[in-house]
Amino acid sequence: METISWDDFEKVELRAGTILEVLDFPEARKPAYKVKVDFGEYGIRMSSAQITALYTKEELVGQQIVGVTNFPRKQIGKFMSEFLVTGFADENGDIVLTTLNGKVPNGSKMI
């Protein structure tokens, strides 16, 4: 594992956002949803998330998650991803979302 400096870490914009809408993404190569997330002053952004194994669309709406908001946009088929959804792989390789244990303002930066 490479060691990074505090300055390197501070460059990563890990921000809290609330999921507003979850859509199917049948064109994705691996099962995924399209998620629309409110990042407060950083805007409402869309991303693709390979989280269909552990989450239904209905249970995701309203959850606060952590996203990387300063990566460049990425084309995924005909869809443009505007941030990176963060999570951890469980023992089966399924993605567990990085969520918050309490509410913070949308757009809050992880410190």
Give domain status of residue 21, yes or no: yes
Which of helix, strand or coil describes residue 37?
Answer: strand
Give domain status of residue 5, yes or no: no
Give domain status of residue 107, yes or no: no
**pLDDT band of 104, cuts 50, 70, 90:** very high
Task: Provide the pLDDT for residue 77.
Answer: 84
To 5 degrees, how large is the angle CA 21–CA 48–CA 14? 90
At 89, which CATH number? 2.40.50.140
Lowest mean pLDDT among 27-31, 46-50, 79-83: 27-31
**What is the C-alpha end-to-end distance of the chain, expressed in Å?**
21
Residue 90 to residue 97: CA distance in whole angstroms: 10
Give domain status of residue 108, yes or no: no
User: How are beta strands 95-97 and 87-89 bridged, if at all?
Assistant: antiparallel
**pLDDT band of 105, cuts 50, 70, 90:** very high
Token pair of 87 as six digits = 């999570």
Give domain status of residue 4, yes or no: no
To 5 degrees, how large is the angle CA 85–CA 37–CA 107? 85
Most distant CA pair in the chain, distance: 40
65 bridge partner residues: 17, 99
What does the pLDDT look like over 62-97, one tens digit per residue?
999 999 999 999 998 889 999 999 999 999 999 999
* Domains in the chain, number: 1
- The boundaries of the domain holding residue 42 are 11-97
Lowest mean pLDDT among 18-22, 32-36, 76-80: 76-80
Overall average pLDDT of the 17-37 stretch:
96
Give domain status of residue 109, yes or no: no
Mean pLDDT (the chain, rounded): 96
8 Å CB contact between 72 and 80: no
Give domain status of residue 47, yes or no: yes
Q: pLDDT > 90: what percent of the chain?
A: 95
